[in-house]
Amino acid sequence: MGKLAITGGTPVLKAQDEGLFHWPIVNDAMRAAQAQVLETGNMSGTDIARRFEASFASWQERKYALSHNNGTNALNAAMFAVGLGPGDEIICTSVTYWASCTGALALGAAVVFCDIDPDTLQMDPASLEAHITPRTKAIMVVHYMAHPAPMDEIMAIARKHGLKIIEDVSHAQGGHYKGRKLGTFGDVAAMSLMSCKSFAIGEGGMLVTDDAEIFKRAVVFGHYDRIIDVCTDEEMEGPKNIPWGGLKNRMHQTSAAIGLEQLKKHDAEIAEIDRAMKYFWKGISDIPGISMIYPKEEGSDKAGWYASRFLYDAAAFGGISNVTFCEALNAEACGGFSFGCNMPLHFSSVFFDIDIYGHGRPTASAFLPDGVDLRAETGALPNAEKVNMRVLGEPWFKHDDHAKIDPYIEALRKVAANVGELQPINDTTPILGGIALSKRKK
């Protein structure tokens, strides 16, 4: 029997305090707002959605906001809106949620994956530039796990090559890069507002832009009842209520009503999360082998700390993997920690091999010149391929309650101090990305 809970010792915490983590935070104003939508039977209109858009646009510091039924469709609309189409390529980081880029395939475009910076987990500008071809049309920039992407470098590359930029702000609503709000850098930004994200209103998404043409294209793509607002008789003959994408992307108005209330408290909520997470890090930052991932530039932040990860150096802990270390942490603290992050997308046959739409060849290359294969070979994106073995997820504290956060600090200190009790059995099994690596055929 050792000191660690996982080796038979007494855990630091006996039970997890649900209130410390419960999300989203629902107040009476939200309850009343959604009840009113239901009672008036106004779930499928656009009046509340338009009010939400107006408030959101002003908070987001952009001219136009267009609400969507989810972030995936907001991103798909953004890709259509910048003109991504057959034979085009869009560059995206391999380590992100699939919805950042998968919709490109339905537009006839191919997704080209680039690598991440191993320390920030954000798009690596050098890898981005190395993946540009004459067919590249756009860059999908994800502010991954609440950390801002290096926008100065990315914008410079986009300008040099004449590329469109779409920001995926699903992890960082209200965040900043060098004092400027995320979602205001690219031609257009889109984001998820679903229940687990920092800006949580239920299923929902938002597209924001300053560009009237991009807004218009997003409307005609999936908002049948608003085409009349943006298209003139000269532009379209016949009925003007047929969405070009054949899609219906309208937001449920209970989400919009809740969103109007969330806007009033979002900045205060993410500020409290920021204080809580920084308090946690103050208690553990001297432990060798772990390091916080946080932007170094003045005026940059990690708004909401959504799915936040930190770096874990197994070598500093006797070769114990992040998976085993995480199990020991969760035994001390009744959960709250996690290991790894998203599995690299460039391992998925969806982007290279599967004939999704019946073109008689892989969808990804259906519109590319013969012989062009955009597949990233194993080893080509080394940071993306290794990241799942190098990161841990810290508990997502919603309240700056020091007495309740202290046990998590103690748990980390305790596991780090007694790491010798852990067995490095099976610890060479690389997780997630590694599993795919071994299965992948050339």
Ligand X SMILES: *Cc1c(COP(=O)(O)O)cnc(C)c1O
Cβ-based nearer residue to ligand X, 189 or 364: 189
Residue 363 makes contact with ligand X by CB under 6 A: no
Residue 70 interacting with ligand X (CB under 6 A): yes
100 CB-near residues (< 8 Å, 6+ apart): 75, 92, 93, 140, 142, 168, 170
Q: How many residues does the chain have?
A: 442
Q: Which of 49, 99, 251, 258 binds ligand X (CB under 6 A)?
A: 99
Which of these ranges, 17-25, 52-60, 166-174, 316-324, lies near ligand X under the rule CB under 6 A? 166-174
Candidate list 65, 95, 158, 194; residue touching ligand X; CB under 6 A: 194
Q: Which of 131, 171, 399, 414 binds ligand X (CB under 6 A)?
A: 171
Stretch of residues binding ligand X (CB under 6 A), selected from 71-79, 109-117, 147-155, 416-424: 71-79
Q: What is the smallest separation between the CB atom of 142 and ligand X, expressed in angstroms?
A: 5
How far is the C-alpha of 441 from the C-alpha of 367, rounded, in Å?
24
Residue from 5, 142, 251, 422 that binds ligand X (CB under 6 A)?
Answer: 142
Q: Quick one: 203 or 406, whose CB is closer to ligand X?
A: 203
Q: Are the beta carbons of 167 and 144 closer than 8 angstroms?
A: no
Cβ neighbours of 350 (radius 10 Å)? 16
Distance between first and last Cα of the chain = 46
Q: Which amino acid does the sequence have at 117?
A: D
111 binds ligand X (CB under 6 A): no
Single-letter code of the amino acid located at 387: V
Contact criterion met (CB below 8 Å) for 111 and 166:
no
From 70-78, 86-94, 246-254, 410-418, give the range in contact with ligand X by CB under 6 A. 70-78
Give the CA distances from residue 375 to residues 101, 267, 313, in Å, rounded to whole numbers and listed in that order.
Answer: 15, 41, 30
Q: HSE on the CB side for 178, CA within 13 Å?
A: 7
Q: Which of 46, 60, 170, 255 touches ligand X (CB under 6 A)?
A: 170
Residue 101 tokens, joined: 């880029």
Cβ distance to ligand X smaller for residue 236 or 350: 350
Residues that bind ligand X (CB under 6 A): 70-72, 75, 96-97, 99-100, 142, 168, 170-171, 192, 194, 205
